[in-house]
Amino acid sequence: MFNYKFDWAIVTSGKYFEWIISGLGITLELSLVSIALSFILGLIIAVMRMSNVRPIRWFAHGYLEFFRNTPLLVQLFFWYFGSYKILPKVINDWLNTMSFEFAAAVIGLTIYTSAFIAEDIRSGVRSIPKEQMEAARSSGFSYIRSMLYIILPQAVRITIPPLINQFLNLAKNSSLAMTIGVAELTYQARQVESYTFKGFEAFTAATLIYLALSLVITGLVTLYSKKVLNPIGAR
Amino acid sequence: MKKIVVVLTALLFVGGLVGVALAADTLADVKKKGVLVAGVKDSTPGFGYIDEKTREIVGYDVDFCKAIAKRLGVKLELRPVTSATRMPQLIAGNIDIAAATMTITPERAQQIDFSYTYFFTGQKFITVKGAVKKLSDLEGKKIGTAKGSTSEQNAKKALPTATVLSFDDYPQALLALQQGKVAAVTTDESILANLLSKAPDKEKYEIPAEIRISDEPYGLGMRKGDKNFVDFVDATLLEMEKSGEAKKIFDEWFGPKGKSGIVLQRTFKITAGK
Protein backbone atom coordinates (compact mmCIF):
# COMPACT_ATOMS: atom_id res chain seq x y z
CA MET A 1 0.00 0.00 0.00
CA PHE A 2 2.68 2.48 1.02
CA ASN A 3 4.53 3.06 -2.18
CA TYR A 4 5.90 6.43 -1.04
CA LYS A 5 9.49 5.96 0.03
CA PHE A 6 10.59 8.32 2.78
CA ASP A 7 14.05 9.67 2.26
CA TRP A 8 14.97 11.71 5.27
CA ALA A 9 18.63 11.85 4.26
CA ILE A 10 17.61 14.47 1.71
CA VAL A 11 16.94 17.05 4.39
CA THR A 12 19.56 16.03 6.93
CA SER A 13 22.67 16.27 4.77
CA GLY A 14 24.07 17.42 1.47
CA LYS A 15 22.96 20.16 -0.89
CA TYR A 16 19.31 20.28 0.12
CA PHE A 17 20.24 20.44 3.79
CA GLU A 18 22.35 23.50 2.98
CA TRP A 19 19.39 25.11 1.20
CA ILE A 20 17.18 24.57 4.24
CA ILE A 21 19.84 25.99 6.53
CA SER A 22 20.35 29.05 4.32
CA GLY A 23 16.57 29.49 4.36
CA LEU A 24 16.62 29.29 8.14
CA GLY A 25 19.33 31.98 8.16
CA ILE A 26 17.17 34.35 6.13
CA THR A 27 14.10 33.56 8.25
CA LEU A 28 16.09 34.32 11.41
CA GLU A 29 17.47 37.54 9.99
CA LEU A 30 14.05 38.61 8.71
CA SER A 31 12.30 37.74 11.98
CA LEU A 32 14.85 39.30 14.34
CA VAL A 33 15.18 42.56 12.41
CA SER A 34 11.40 42.84 12.07
CA ILE A 35 10.78 41.94 15.73
CA ALA A 36 13.15 44.67 16.90
CA LEU A 37 11.76 47.29 14.52
CA SER A 38 8.12 46.39 15.07
CA PHE A 39 8.55 46.60 18.84
CA ILE A 40 10.03 50.10 18.60
CA LEU A 41 7.44 51.23 16.06
CA GLY A 42 4.66 49.61 18.11
CA LEU A 43 5.78 51.58 21.20
CA ILE A 44 5.76 54.83 19.24
CA ILE A 45 2.34 54.19 17.74
CA ALA A 46 0.94 53.18 21.16
CA VAL A 47 2.16 56.43 22.70
CA MET A 48 0.76 58.40 19.77
CA ARG A 49 -2.55 56.57 20.11
CA MET A 50 -2.79 57.76 23.73
CA SER A 51 -1.63 61.29 23.01
CA ASN A 52 -3.72 64.27 24.03
CA VAL A 53 -3.05 65.95 20.70
CA ARG A 54 -5.98 65.03 18.49
CA PRO A 55 -4.35 64.85 15.01
CA ILE A 56 -1.60 62.60 16.39
CA ARG A 57 -4.16 60.37 18.08
CA TRP A 58 -6.26 60.20 14.94
CA PHE A 59 -3.30 59.38 12.79
CA ALA A 60 -2.30 56.55 15.10
CA HIS A 61 -5.87 55.28 15.17
CA GLY A 62 -6.08 55.26 11.38
CA TYR A 63 -2.72 53.53 11.12
CA LEU A 64 -3.81 50.83 13.55
CA GLU A 65 -7.11 50.11 11.88
CA PHE A 66 -5.67 50.15 8.39
CA PHE A 67 -2.74 47.84 8.96
CA ARG A 68 -4.52 45.51 11.37
CA ASN A 69 -7.45 44.98 9.06
CA THR A 70 -5.83 44.34 5.69
CA PRO A 71 -4.16 41.04 4.75
CA LEU A 72 -0.42 40.88 5.23
CA LEU A 73 0.04 39.29 1.81
CA VAL A 74 -1.58 42.29 0.15
CA GLN A 75 0.60 44.62 2.19
CA LEU A 76 3.75 42.78 1.12
CA PHE A 77 2.72 43.08 -2.54
CA PHE A 78 2.03 46.74 -1.93
CA TRP A 79 5.49 47.45 -0.50
CA TYR A 80 7.25 45.42 -3.16
CA PHE A 81 5.28 46.17 -6.34
CA GLY A 82 3.03 49.10 -5.39
CA SER A 83 5.75 51.36 -4.04
CA TYR A 84 7.08 51.58 -7.60
CA LYS A 85 4.27 53.91 -8.60
CA ILE A 86 4.80 56.32 -5.72
CA LEU A 87 8.57 56.61 -5.51
CA PRO A 88 10.64 58.69 -7.92
CA LYS A 89 12.62 56.85 -10.59
CA VAL A 90 16.02 57.54 -9.02
CA ILE A 91 14.99 55.86 -5.79
CA ASN A 92 13.40 52.93 -7.62
CA ASP A 93 16.54 52.35 -9.65
CA TRP A 94 18.63 52.49 -6.51
CA LEU A 95 16.32 50.10 -4.67
CA ASN A 96 16.43 47.66 -7.57
CA THR A 97 20.19 47.36 -7.33
CA MET A 98 19.83 46.44 -3.65
CA SER A 99 18.19 43.46 -2.06
CA PHE A 100 14.84 45.21 -2.19
CA GLU A 101 12.94 41.94 -1.77
CA PHE A 102 14.30 41.57 1.74
CA ALA A 103 13.76 45.25 2.58
CA ALA A 104 10.14 45.17 1.37
CA ALA A 105 9.53 42.07 3.49
CA VAL A 106 10.99 43.77 6.59
CA ILE A 107 8.89 46.89 5.99
CA GLY A 108 5.72 44.87 5.45
CA LEU A 109 6.20 42.59 8.47
CA THR A 110 7.28 45.46 10.72
CA ILE A 111 4.37 47.73 9.94
CA TYR A 112 1.79 44.95 10.08
CA THR A 113 3.03 43.57 13.39
CA SER A 114 3.59 47.01 14.95
CA ALA A 115 -0.14 47.69 14.72
CA PHE A 116 -0.90 44.63 16.85
CA ILE A 117 1.95 45.36 19.24
CA ALA A 118 0.74 48.94 19.70
CA GLU A 119 -2.69 47.73 20.76
CA ASP A 120 -1.17 45.24 23.21
CA ILE A 121 1.02 47.91 24.72
CA ARG A 122 -1.90 50.29 24.97
CA SER A 123 -3.91 47.79 26.96
CA GLY A 124 -0.84 47.30 29.15
CA VAL A 125 -0.63 51.03 29.75
CA ARG A 126 -4.32 51.20 30.58
CA SER A 127 -3.81 48.66 33.31
CA ILE A 128 -1.42 51.06 35.08
CA PRO A 129 -3.44 53.26 37.48
CA LYS A 130 -3.80 56.71 35.95
CA GLU A 131 -2.72 58.29 39.24
CA GLN A 132 0.83 57.27 38.35
CA MET A 133 0.73 59.47 35.29
CA GLU A 134 -0.78 62.29 37.30
CA ALA A 135 1.88 61.86 39.99
CA ALA A 136 4.62 61.85 37.40
CA ARG A 137 3.29 64.96 35.67
CA SER A 138 2.90 66.83 38.95
CA SER A 139 6.47 65.89 39.84
CA GLY A 140 7.56 67.82 36.78
CA PHE A 141 8.03 65.03 34.23
CA SER A 142 6.93 65.85 30.71
CA TYR A 143 4.34 63.57 29.06
CA ILE A 144 6.96 61.78 27.00
CA ARG A 145 9.29 61.36 29.97
CA SER A 146 6.52 60.09 32.26
CA MET A 147 5.66 57.55 29.60
CA LEU A 148 9.26 56.57 29.01
CA TYR A 149 10.42 56.30 32.63
CA ILE A 150 7.30 55.54 34.64
CA ILE A 151 4.44 54.07 32.63
CA LEU A 152 5.98 52.10 29.76
CA PRO A 153 8.50 50.10 31.82
CA GLN A 154 5.60 48.76 33.87
CA ALA A 155 3.23 48.40 30.93
CA VAL A 156 5.70 46.48 28.78
CA ARG A 157 6.28 44.05 31.62
CA ILE A 158 2.55 43.31 31.80
CA THR A 159 2.42 43.10 28.02
CA ILE A 160 5.09 40.41 27.72
CA PRO A 161 2.74 37.41 27.21
CA PRO A 162 0.77 39.01 24.35
CA LEU A 163 4.03 40.37 22.93
CA ILE A 164 5.40 36.83 22.74
CA ASN A 165 2.33 35.99 20.69
CA GLN A 166 3.01 38.80 18.28
CA PHE A 167 6.67 37.85 17.92
CA LEU A 168 5.69 34.25 17.20
CA ASN A 169 3.15 35.38 14.66
CA LEU A 170 5.77 37.52 13.02
CA ALA A 171 8.29 34.69 12.83
CA LYS A 172 5.71 32.47 11.15
CA ASN A 173 4.30 35.25 8.96
CA SER A 174 7.79 35.78 7.60
CA SER A 175 7.09 32.75 5.40
CA LEU A 176 4.86 34.99 3.27
CA ALA A 177 7.99 36.81 2.14
CA MET A 178 8.55 33.92 -0.26
CA THR A 179 5.82 35.38 -2.48
CA ILE A 180 8.08 38.31 -3.31
CA GLY A 181 11.13 36.15 -3.89
CA VAL A 182 12.83 36.20 -0.49
CA ALA A 183 14.60 32.86 -0.18
CA GLU A 184 13.53 32.11 3.40
CA LEU A 185 12.76 28.78 5.01
CA THR A 186 9.42 27.97 3.36
CA TYR A 187 10.76 29.11 -0.02
CA GLN A 188 13.72 26.77 0.33
CA ALA A 189 11.52 23.90 1.48
CA ARG A 190 9.45 24.40 -1.64
CA GLN A 191 12.62 24.53 -3.73
CA VAL A 192 13.72 21.22 -2.29
CA GLU A 193 10.28 19.85 -3.10
CA SER A 194 10.36 20.99 -6.69
CA TYR A 195 13.86 19.60 -7.24
CA THR A 196 13.36 16.27 -5.48
CA PHE A 197 9.56 15.87 -5.21
CA LYS A 198 10.17 14.96 -1.60
CA GLY A 199 7.69 17.52 -0.34
CA PHE A 200 6.76 15.59 2.75
CA GLU A 201 10.33 15.47 4.01
CA ALA A 202 11.09 19.07 3.07
CA PHE A 203 8.03 20.54 4.73
CA THR A 204 8.39 18.32 7.81
CA ALA A 205 11.90 19.68 8.23
CA ALA A 206 10.62 23.25 7.79
CA THR A 207 7.79 22.63 10.27
CA LEU A 208 10.16 21.30 12.92
CA ILE A 209 12.46 24.25 12.41
CA TYR A 210 9.59 26.73 12.80
CA LEU A 211 8.53 24.89 15.94
CA ALA A 212 12.05 25.08 17.36
CA LEU A 213 12.33 28.74 16.38
CA SER A 214 9.04 29.57 18.10
CA LEU A 215 10.07 27.74 21.26
CA VAL A 216 13.40 29.57 21.30
CA ILE A 217 11.70 32.96 20.92
CA THR A 218 9.24 32.12 23.71
CA GLY A 219 12.09 30.90 25.91
CA LEU A 220 14.25 33.96 25.33
CA VAL A 221 11.50 36.49 25.99
CA THR A 222 10.35 34.62 29.10
CA LEU A 223 13.92 34.40 30.36
CA TYR A 224 14.44 38.09 29.70
CA SER A 225 11.29 39.07 31.56
CA LYS A 226 12.19 36.84 34.53
CA LYS A 227 15.87 37.63 34.87
CA VAL A 228 16.05 41.21 33.72
CA LEU A 229 12.69 42.90 34.09
CA ASN A 230 11.19 41.44 37.26
CA PRO A 231 14.06 42.09 39.69
CA ILE A 232 13.97 45.78 38.81
CA GLY A 233 10.21 45.81 39.10
CA ALA A 234 10.43 44.28 42.59
CA ARG A 235 6.83 43.20 42.33
CA MET B 1 6.18 10.27 27.79
CA LYS B 2 3.30 8.00 26.87
CA LYS B 3 1.44 10.97 25.43
CA ILE B 4 4.39 11.92 23.27
CA VAL B 5 4.56 8.39 21.89
CA VAL B 6 0.85 8.47 21.09
CA VAL B 7 1.18 11.84 19.34
CA LEU B 8 4.21 10.72 17.35
CA THR B 9 2.47 7.54 16.29
CA ALA B 10 -0.53 9.58 15.14
CA LEU B 11 1.73 11.92 13.19
CA LEU B 12 3.49 9.01 11.49
CA PHE B 13 0.14 7.50 10.62
CA VAL B 14 -1.10 10.72 9.04
CA GLY B 15 2.24 11.02 7.27
CA GLY B 16 1.82 7.52 5.92
CA LEU B 17 -1.63 8.29 4.60
CA VAL B 18 -0.31 11.26 2.67
CA GLY B 19 2.02 8.92 0.86
CA VAL B 20 -0.63 6.37 0.01
CA ALA B 21 -1.34 5.95 -3.64
CA LEU B 22 -3.39 3.24 -5.19
CA ALA B 23 -1.12 1.15 -7.35
CA ALA B 24 -4.08 -0.02 -9.39
CA ASP B 25 -4.79 -0.27 -13.07
CA THR B 26 -6.03 3.19 -14.01
CA LEU B 27 -7.19 2.08 -17.45
CA ALA B 28 -9.59 -0.45 -15.95
CA ASP B 29 -10.59 1.93 -13.14
CA VAL B 30 -11.40 4.78 -15.49
CA LYS B 31 -13.52 2.53 -17.67
CA LYS B 32 -15.34 1.24 -14.60
CA LYS B 33 -15.94 4.75 -13.21
CA GLY B 34 -16.92 6.05 -16.64
CA VAL B 35 -14.92 9.22 -16.08
CA LEU B 36 -11.33 10.30 -16.69
CA VAL B 37 -10.10 12.89 -14.20
CA ALA B 38 -7.45 15.09 -15.81
CA GLY B 39 -5.33 17.69 -14.03
CA VAL B 40 -4.83 20.73 -16.25
CA LYS B 41 -3.58 24.27 -15.78
CA ASP B 42 -6.32 26.88 -15.64
CA SER B 43 -4.24 30.01 -16.14
CA THR B 44 -1.76 29.06 -18.87
CA PRO B 45 -3.21 30.46 -22.11
CA GLY B 46 -2.98 28.19 -25.09
CA PHE B 47 -2.56 25.08 -22.93
CA GLY B 48 -5.19 25.27 -20.22
CA TYR B 49 -7.09 28.43 -19.40
CA ILE B 50 -10.59 29.60 -18.69
CA ASP B 51 -12.48 30.73 -21.75
CA GLU B 52 -13.98 34.15 -21.14
CA LYS B 53 -17.30 33.34 -22.75
CA THR B 54 -18.04 29.77 -21.74
CA ARG B 55 -16.22 29.91 -18.37
CA GLU B 56 -14.80 26.48 -19.16
CA ILE B 57 -11.19 25.35 -19.15
CA VAL B 58 -9.96 25.04 -22.73
CA GLY B 59 -6.63 24.67 -24.53
CA TYR B 60 -4.08 22.40 -26.18
CA ASP B 61 -3.66 20.22 -23.09
CA VAL B 62 -7.42 19.99 -22.64
CA ASP B 63 -7.95 18.84 -26.23
CA PHE B 64 -5.47 15.99 -25.79
CA CYS B 65 -7.35 14.90 -22.66
CA LYS B 66 -10.62 15.08 -24.60
CA ALA B 67 -9.19 12.89 -27.34
CA ILE B 68 -8.00 10.30 -24.82
CA ALA B 69 -11.33 10.31 -22.97
CA LYS B 70 -13.16 9.92 -26.28
CA ARG B 71 -11.13 6.87 -27.23
CA LEU B 72 -11.76 5.40 -23.78
CA GLY B 73 -15.46 6.06 -24.22
CA VAL B 74 -15.70 7.90 -20.91
CA LYS B 75 -16.57 11.39 -19.73
CA LEU B 76 -13.80 13.88 -19.02
CA GLU B 77 -13.56 15.73 -15.72
CA LEU B 78 -11.05 18.58 -15.52
CA ARG B 79 -9.35 19.58 -12.27
CA PRO B 80 -7.16 22.69 -12.12
CA VAL B 81 -3.59 22.06 -10.97
CA THR B 82 -0.48 24.22 -10.73
CA SER B 83 3.16 23.42 -11.39
CA ALA B 84 3.59 22.74 -7.70
CA THR B 85 0.50 20.58 -7.19
CA ARG B 86 0.28 18.47 -10.36
CA MET B 87 2.67 15.70 -9.23
CA PRO B 88 1.39 15.34 -5.65
CA GLN B 89 -2.21 15.30 -6.95
CA LEU B 90 -1.34 12.58 -9.43
CA ILE B 91 0.57 10.44 -6.93
CA ALA B 92 -2.20 10.82 -4.34
CA GLY B 93 -4.72 9.57 -6.90
CA ASN B 94 -6.78 12.77 -7.08
CA ILE B 95 -6.25 12.93 -10.82
CA ASP B 96 -5.71 10.12 -13.34
CA ILE B 97 -3.55 12.03 -15.77
CA ALA B 98 -1.67 15.32 -15.64
CA ALA B 99 -1.76 17.39 -18.82
CA ALA B 100 -0.24 20.52 -17.38
CA THR B 101 2.65 21.84 -19.52
CA MET B 102 4.96 19.40 -17.71
CA THR B 103 8.50 18.96 -18.97
CA ILE B 104 9.80 15.41 -19.00
CA THR B 105 12.83 15.19 -16.70
CA PRO B 106 14.73 12.19 -15.30
CA GLU B 107 13.99 13.34 -11.73
CA ARG B 108 10.27 13.49 -12.39
CA ALA B 109 10.39 10.18 -14.25
CA GLN B 110 11.51 8.53 -10.99
CA GLN B 111 8.21 9.50 -9.40
CA ILE B 112 5.75 9.23 -12.27
CA ASP B 113 5.58 7.83 -15.80
CA PHE B 114 5.45 10.04 -18.86
CA SER B 115 3.78 9.58 -22.23
CA TYR B 116 5.62 10.34 -25.45
CA THR B 117 6.38 14.02 -26.02
CA TYR B 118 3.19 15.72 -27.16
CA PHE B 119 4.58 19.24 -27.26
CA PHE B 120 8.10 20.56 -27.68
CA THR B 121 9.47 23.92 -26.70
CA GLY B 122 12.57 25.53 -25.20
CA GLN B 123 13.40 27.92 -22.41
CA LYS B 124 14.05 31.52 -23.42
CA PHE B 125 14.07 35.01 -21.91
CA ILE B 126 11.98 38.16 -22.11
CA THR B 127 14.24 41.20 -21.82
CA VAL B 128 14.11 44.91 -22.46
CA LYS B 129 14.55 45.41 -26.22
CA GLY B 130 18.21 45.57 -27.21
CA ALA B 131 19.52 45.15 -23.65
CA VAL B 132 20.63 41.56 -24.01
CA LYS B 133 22.62 40.38 -27.04
CA LYS B 134 24.01 37.15 -25.67
CA LEU B 135 23.43 34.93 -22.68
CA SER B 136 26.45 36.24 -20.77
CA ASP B 137 24.88 39.72 -20.70
CA LEU B 138 22.61 38.34 -18.01
CA GLU B 139 25.42 37.14 -15.71
CA GLY B 140 25.23 38.74 -12.28
CA LYS B 141 21.75 40.13 -12.93
CA LYS B 142 18.46 39.27 -11.28
CA ILE B 143 16.27 36.90 -13.28
CA GLY B 144 12.59 36.33 -12.54
CA THR B 145 10.62 33.13 -12.94
CA ALA B 146 7.85 31.16 -11.20
CA LYS B 147 8.15 28.59 -8.42
CA GLY B 148 8.09 24.84 -8.76
CA SER B 149 9.17 24.77 -12.38
CA THR B 150 12.21 23.48 -14.23
CA SER B 151 12.84 27.01 -15.54
CA GLU B 152 14.49 28.03 -12.33
CA GLN B 153 16.92 25.11 -12.29
CA ASN B 154 17.89 25.67 -15.92
CA ALA B 155 18.47 29.36 -15.32
CA LYS B 156 20.71 28.66 -12.34
CA LYS B 157 22.72 26.19 -14.36
CA ALA B 158 23.08 28.45 -17.40
CA LEU B 159 23.80 31.59 -15.37
CA PRO B 160 25.67 30.60 -12.20
CA THR B 161 26.30 34.18 -11.05
CA ALA B 162 22.78 35.44 -11.65
CA THR B 163 20.26 35.71 -8.82
CA VAL B 164 17.12 33.80 -9.73
CA LEU B 165 14.01 35.19 -8.03
CA SER B 166 11.04 32.86 -7.98
CA PHE B 167 7.65 34.51 -7.85
CA ASP B 168 4.32 32.85 -7.26
CA ASP B 169 3.33 33.08 -10.89
CA TYR B 170 4.59 34.47 -14.21
CA PRO B 171 2.53 37.68 -14.31
CA GLN B 172 4.33 38.81 -11.15
CA ALA B 173 7.68 38.01 -12.71
CA LEU B 174 6.72 40.15 -15.72
CA LEU B 175 5.60 42.97 -13.42
CA ALA B 176 9.02 42.79 -11.75
CA LEU B 177 10.62 43.14 -15.21
CA GLN B 178 8.42 46.12 -16.08
CA GLN B 179 9.47 47.78 -12.81
CA GLY B 180 13.14 47.06 -13.44
CA LYS B 181 13.38 44.71 -10.46
CA VAL B 182 14.70 41.91 -12.67
CA ALA B 183 16.67 42.05 -15.92
CA ALA B 184 14.81 39.20 -17.58
CA VAL B 185 11.96 36.75 -17.15
CA THR B 186 12.68 33.18 -18.11
CA THR B 187 10.59 30.11 -18.81
CA ASP B 188 9.31 28.10 -21.78
CA GLU B 189 8.96 30.09 -24.95
CA SER B 190 5.25 29.39 -25.32
CA ILE B 191 4.51 30.79 -21.88
CA LEU B 192 6.73 33.82 -22.53
CA ALA B 193 5.10 34.53 -25.88
CA ASN B 194 1.70 34.58 -24.26
CA LEU B 195 2.84 36.65 -21.29
CA LEU B 196 4.29 39.23 -23.61
CA SER B 197 1.27 39.26 -25.94
CA LYS B 198 -0.84 40.53 -23.05
CA ALA B 199 1.54 43.19 -21.73
CA PRO B 200 0.28 46.71 -22.47
CA ASP B 201 3.82 47.97 -23.16
CA LYS B 202 4.93 44.92 -25.14
CA GLU B 203 6.81 46.95 -27.76
CA LYS B 204 9.48 47.69 -25.14
CA TYR B 205 10.38 44.02 -24.72
CA GLU B 206 11.56 41.13 -26.83
CA ILE B 207 12.35 37.44 -26.67
CA PRO B 208 15.87 37.23 -28.13
CA ALA B 209 15.65 34.40 -30.65
CA GLU B 210 19.24 33.12 -30.30
CA ILE B 211 19.21 32.76 -26.54
CA ARG B 212 17.81 29.38 -25.64
CA ILE B 213 18.99 27.47 -22.60
CA SER B 214 17.07 24.21 -22.73
CA ASP B 215 14.90 21.75 -24.60
CA GLU B 216 11.52 21.29 -23.01
CA PRO B 217 9.63 18.22 -24.15
CA TYR B 218 6.19 18.14 -22.55
CA GLY B 219 4.74 14.79 -21.53
CA LEU B 220 1.46 13.65 -20.08
CA GLY B 221 2.03 12.46 -16.51
CA MET B 222 0.64 9.20 -15.20
CA ARG B 223 1.20 7.18 -12.06
CA LYS B 224 4.39 5.12 -11.83
CA GLY B 225 4.05 1.56 -13.04
CA ASP B 226 0.62 2.09 -14.54
CA LYS B 227 1.74 0.30 -17.70
CA ASN B 228 -1.62 -0.43 -19.33
CA PHE B 229 -2.69 3.18 -19.14
CA VAL B 230 0.66 4.56 -20.32
CA ASP B 231 0.63 2.19 -23.30
CA PHE B 232 -2.91 3.22 -24.15
CA VAL B 233 -2.09 6.92 -24.00
CA ASP B 234 1.10 6.47 -26.06
CA ALA B 235 -0.80 4.53 -28.72
CA THR B 236 -3.45 7.23 -28.77
CA LEU B 237 -0.84 9.96 -29.26
CA LEU B 238 0.79 8.12 -32.18
CA GLU B 239 -2.60 7.57 -33.74
CA MET B 240 -3.45 11.26 -33.36
CA GLU B 241 -0.19 12.23 -35.07
CA LYS B 242 -0.84 9.81 -37.92
CA SER B 243 -4.41 10.96 -38.49
CA GLY B 244 -3.40 14.62 -38.41
CA GLU B 245 -5.52 15.26 -35.33
CA ALA B 246 -2.48 16.30 -33.26
CA LYS B 247 -1.42 18.87 -35.84
CA LYS B 248 -4.98 20.14 -36.07
CA ILE B 249 -5.07 20.72 -32.32
CA PHE B 250 -1.73 22.54 -32.53
CA ASP B 251 -2.96 24.81 -35.32
CA GLU B 252 -6.22 25.43 -33.52
CA TRP B 253 -4.36 26.94 -30.58
CA PHE B 254 -0.98 28.10 -31.90
CA GLY B 255 -1.46 28.45 -35.62
CA PRO B 256 -1.42 31.83 -37.40
CA LYS B 257 -5.15 32.16 -36.69
CA GLY B 258 -5.03 30.20 -33.44
CA LYS B 259 -7.52 30.82 -30.68
CA SER B 260 -4.89 31.64 -28.08
CA GLY B 261 -3.31 34.51 -30.00
CA ILE B 262 0.10 32.91 -29.41
CA VAL B 263 1.72 32.03 -32.70
CA LEU B 264 4.29 29.22 -32.63
CA GLN B 265 5.97 27.00 -35.21
CA ARG B 266 5.31 23.29 -34.99
CA THR B 267 8.89 22.05 -35.22
CA PHE B 268 8.15 18.61 -33.82
CA LYS B 269 6.21 15.45 -34.53
CA ILE B 270 4.88 13.01 -31.98
CA THR B 271 7.01 9.88 -32.28
CA ALA B 272 7.67 6.78 -30.22
CA GLY B 273 10.37 7.81 -27.75
CA LYS B 274 10.43 10.31 -24.97
Which of A2, A100, A179 shows the shortest C-beta gap to B20?
A2
pTM: 0.69
CA closest to A100 among chain B residues:
B181
Which of A93, A100, A194 shows the shortest C-beta gap to B147?
A194
**Chain B contact probe: residue of A6, A96, A175, A190 with most B CBs at under 10 A:** A96
Residue A4 lies in a domain: no
Mean pLDDT over B22-36 rounds to: 85
Residues of B in contact with A196 (CB under 8 A): 107
Question: So what's the pLDDT on residue B123?
Answer: 92
B16 in contact with A, Cβ within 8 Å: yes
Q: How many structural domains does chain A have?
A: 1
Candidates B270, B266, B269, B236; CA nearest to B251 is B266
**Chain A contact probe: residue of B179, B185, B223 with most A CBs at under 10 A:** B179
Question: For B246-266, what is each residue's pLDDT tens digit?
Answer: 999 999 998 888 888 787 878
CA closest to A97 among chain B residues:
B181
As a whole number of angstroms, the distance between CA A144 and CA A150 comes to 10
CATH architecture of the domain with range B24-121+216-254: 3-Layer(aba) Sandwich (3.40)
A97 in contact with B, Cβ within 8 Å: no
Question: For B50-94, what is each residue's pLDDT tens digit?
Answer: 998 999 999 999 999 999 999 999 999 999 999 889 999 999 999
B201 in contact with A, Cβ within 8 Å: no
Question: For A96-149, what is each residue's pLDDT tens digit?
Answer: 777 889 999 999 999 999 999 999 999 999 999 989 999 999 999 998 899 999
Give the DSSP per-residue string, A173-231.
HGGGGGGGT---HHHHHHHHHHHH--HHHHHHHHHHHHHHHHHHHHHHHHHHIIIIIHH
Residue A144 lies in a domain: yes
- Write down the ipTM of this complex: 0.71
% of chain B residues with pLDDT over 90 = 58
Strand partners, B222: B113
Question: So what's the pLDDT on residue B151?
Answer: 85
Mean pLDDT over B229-253 rounds to: 95
Question: So what's the pLDDT on residue B274?
Answer: 58
B143 in contact with A, Cβ within 8 Å: no
As a whole number of angstroms, the distance between CA A26 and CA A20 comes to 10
The CATH number of domain B123-215, selected from 3.40.50.720, 3.40.950.10, 1.10.150.670, 3.40.190.10: 3.40.190.10
Is the pLDDT at A235 greater than 70? The verdict is: no
Domain with CATH 3.40.190.10 in chain B: 24-121+216-254, 123-215
Q: How confident is the model at residue A231 (pLDDT cuts 50, 70, 90)?
A: low
The answer to which of A8-12, B190-194, B204-208, B235-239 has the lowest mean pLDDT is A8-12
Show the domain range for A15. Answer: 9-233
